[in-house]
A and B are shown apart, each in its own frame.
Chain A
Amino acid sequence: MSISIQNISKRFGSFVALDGINLDIPTGELVALLGPSGCGKTTLLRIIAGMETADAGEVLFSGREATHLHARDRNVGFVFQHYALFRHMTVFENVAFGLRVKPRKERPAEAEIKKRVMDLLGLVQLDWLAERYPSQLSGGQRQRIALARALAVEPKVLLLDEPFGALDTKVRKELRRWLRRLHDEMHISSVFVTHDQEEALEVADRVVVMNHGRIEQIGSPDEVYSNPASPFVYQFLGNVNVFHSRVHGAWAEVGRDEAAAGGESGEGGETLAFVRPHEIDIERGPVAGGLEAEVQDVHPIGPVVRVELAHASELIEVELTRERADALGLAKGQHVWLKPRQVKVFAAPEYLLEDGGSGI
């Protein structure tokens, strides 16, 4: 089922949670709503689910008006960050709940319910826990049960609100892959909310980056990462070094060639140059167009080495592979030259207002 969101706005008192959101989610897509806390992503998800009402705008399911449909009539599966399992019911009864509360005419027979529930528990690989109670399960298991419960009513849309937010890193990674597989098997449209950029980039077909109740960019994970539409997206997706071009003439020069590709630098105006830490090379000797900097600190972090450098008063972060770092043999206080491989330039005022570009 496709979802179409048209001009949705929502306020909580004076706080604008959503400001004229337009978004189309085609059938079968797995979409991530990504943004910092308070950006409105959860509110948008809850409006799609019918748990919150929009002040203005419309929600269409398969082209049909659904804005005022009650949550129970939307046929939407919802998974909560903190699972929201029914504590007094066994795992089996939790999953069976959606089937048991159907009106008598639509309710499957007991044997059918049993079969469907056990199939779903098999799907989430927890059929051996059917008789346990939620409090006897680990966080990851609870979230899988919550998913099975949501899927039991065969929803056309699956909505997940920070589904892995309360889990530890290892379980989170596992469930991420598993959600992707499940989505592909079930042939449904899924929308999940996250503030974890890695999660969004890894799992989703499309990423919707939100900030201050507006959509900053919509695109494939690769698109939003390598071609951010606004300074906000650039900064939110991974680490980035920001340079005020006018202050550092050398950087403006370096950036000029690349800027023509996708940046919006005004002629001679104040601009900001964005460079990702892994897109900077460090050289021991002077290089043309390079920027001199002093090594402040060297942190080996797993497979990469993070180097902090000072240029004038600004802190610059560079990520090198271990091999490259070993070859350079960097030491604190050493003077080196930096050469960015890729720079993106945005006009400064836009950034200062924190009023990013509109969605594509």
Chain B
Amino acid sequence: MSRVLPGFGLSLGYTLVYLSLLVLIPLGGLVLKAGTLTLAEFWQIATTEQAMASYRVTFGASFAAAVINAFFGLIVAWVLVRYPFPGKSLVDAFVDLPFALPTAVAGITLATLYAGNGWIGRHLEPLGIKVAYTPYGIVVALAFVTLPFIVRTLQPVIEDIEPEVEEAAASLGASRWLTFTRIILPAIFPALLTGFTLAFSRAIGEFGSVIFIAGNLPMVSEITPLLIIAKLEQQDVVGATALAVVMLVISFVMLLTINALQWWAANRHKGRAA
């Protein structure tokens, strides 16, 4: 049977080569390098107290940042889609800034702002809140970096909800809150989950902005990527790859889980796909 669309063989071959060169071979090499360790050695490097603390900081802060953005990013997306106001396109453009700005610049700026004598930190310190050079600082930096992912994923989906659907709910006697929880949230939930996933995985890999604001105290505010670099600087390449493999596996499992969740959310209503 001949296909209607030509070029299947060529484009698939290209896709495989491209993915191999960029993703599969480097990651395979990583696993291979880590494979020079025995299982016991690997386990010993991967589970040192310092490493465990860094996983907690990395994944914990990433998760927190993604959750915070899921909430506030939703509000930003909602406002940008639903309400006309002067300067809207300018505000819309601001959302993309974290994409474009070098993350190190963002990290230094945030660290300066949130430091004890910074513009914002100055007002937080009397309240007993320290942000810069603590795990909170990491969350702030990650929230900054990941905001566009959630806003940009939600915007088209919110645009897709006809205002009539909300009017219908109102005419049936539903309050604003019920309309939101029963009508709007279920409609945007799959997109929210997608945005969350993107933000979360981006946050796990973030390095540049975090190291400037984190303070990098071992056991407290040291992220795994930094630990890997520290090991590389000590010429401990095998140890670094061991940690990298751990991150790779955890990230992969998480992405897989969230993908499954997403698939479930999108297909809950078989009709939606049509």
A residues neighboring B (CB under 8 Å): 49-51, 70-78, 80, 82, 84-89, 97-98, 101-102, 132-136, 146, 149-150, 152-153
Pick 24 A–B contacts, CB within 8 A, sort by A: A51-B171, A72-B171, A72-B173, A77-B171, A80-B164, A84-B165, A84-B168, A86-B168, A87-B271, A87-B272, A88-B186, A97-B169, A101-B174, A101-B178, A101-B182, A133-B272, A134-B271, A135-B271, A136-B271, A136-B274, A146-B168, A149-B172, A153-B172, A153-B173
Contacting residues, chain A, for B182 (C-beta < 8 A): 97, 101
Contacting residues, chain A, for B162 (C-beta < 8 A): 82, 84
Q: Tell me the complex Cα distance, A88–B164, Å.
A: 15
Q: Is the CB of B271 within 8 A of A102?
A: no
Q: Is the CB of A98 within 8 A of B173?
A: yes
- Interface flag for B183 (CB, 8 Å): yes
Chain B, 19-72, CB within 8 A of any chain A CB: none
- Interface flag for B167 (CB, 8 Å): yes
Contacting residues, chain A, for B172 (C-beta < 8 A): 72, 97-98, 101, 149-150, 152-153
Q: Is the CB of A71 within 8 A of B167?
A: yes
Contacting residues, chain A, for B175 (C-beta < 8 A): 72, 101
Contacting residues, chain B, for A75 (C-beta < 8 A): 173
Q: Is the CB of B168 within 8 A of A78?
A: yes
Closest partner residue, chain A, to B168 (CB atom): A84
Q: Tell me the complex Cα distance, A216–B268, Å.
A: 50
Q: A-facing mask of B169-198, CB < 8 A → 1, else 0? A: 111111100100011001100000000000
Partner of B167, one of A84, A86, A89: A84
- Interface flag for B269 (CB, 8 Å): yes
- Interface flag for B270 (CB, 8 Å): yes
Partner of A133, one of B174, B187, B271: B271
Q: Is the CB of A88 within 8 A of B269?
A: yes
B residues neighboring A (CB under 8 Å): 162, 164-165, 167-175, 178, 182-183, 186-187, 268-272, 274
Contacting residues, chain A, for B269 (C-beta < 8 A): 87-89, 133
Q: Is the CB of B167 within 8 A of A51?
A: yes
Of residues A76, A86, A88, A133, which shows the largest number of chain B Cβ atoms within 10 Å of its Cβ? A88
Contacting residues, chain A, for B187 (C-beta < 8 A): 87-88
Of residues A70, A71, A74, which shows the largest number of chain B Cβ atoms within 10 Å of its Cβ? A71
Q: Tell me the complex Cα distance, A86–B182, Å.
A: 9
Tell me the smallest distance from the CB of B159 to a CB of chain A, in Å.
Answer: 15
Contacting residues, chain B, for A136 (C-beta < 8 A): 270-271, 274
Tell me the smallest distance from the CB of B184 to a CB of chain A, in Å.
Answer: 10
Contacting residues, chain B, for A133 (C-beta < 8 A): 269-272
Q: Is the CB of B274 within 8 A of A135?
A: yes
Contacting residues, chain B, for A101 (C-beta < 8 A): 169, 172-175, 178, 182
Q: Tell me the complex Cα distance, A315–B268, Å.
A: 60
Tell me the smallest distance from the CB of B150 to a CB of chain A, in Å.
Answer: 20
Q: Is the CB of B272 within 8 A of A150?
A: no
Q: Tell me the complex Cα distance, A28–B273, Å.
A: 41
Q: Is the CB of B171 within 8 A of A78?
A: yes
Contacting residues, chain A, for B274 (C-beta < 8 A): 135-136
Contacting residues, chain A, for B171 (C-beta < 8 A): 49-51, 71-72, 74, 76-78, 150
Tell me the smallest distance from the CB of B187 to a CB of chain A, in Å.
Answer: 6
Q: Tell me the complex Cα distance, A177–B269, Å.
A: 33
Closest partner residue, chain B, to A101 (CB atom): B174
A-B interface, 6 closest residue pairs, ranked by CB to CB distance from nearest: A133-B271, A135-B271, A98-B172, A84-B164, A101-B174, A78-B171
Q: Is the CB of A135 within 8 A of B272?
A: yes
Tell me the smallest distance from the CB of A80 to a CB of chain B, in Å.
Answer: 5
Contacting residues, chain B, for A135 (C-beta < 8 A): 271-272, 274
Of residues A86, A89, A150, which shows the largest number of chain B Cβ atoms within 10 Å of its Cβ? A86
Q: Is the CB of B174 within 8 A of A86?
A: no
Contacting residues, chain B, for A86 (C-beta < 8 A): 165, 168-169, 183
Closest partner residue, chain B, to A70 (CB atom): B170
Tell me the smallest distance from the CB of A95 to a CB of chain B, in Å.
Answer: 10
Contacting residues, chain B, for A50 (C-beta < 8 A): 171
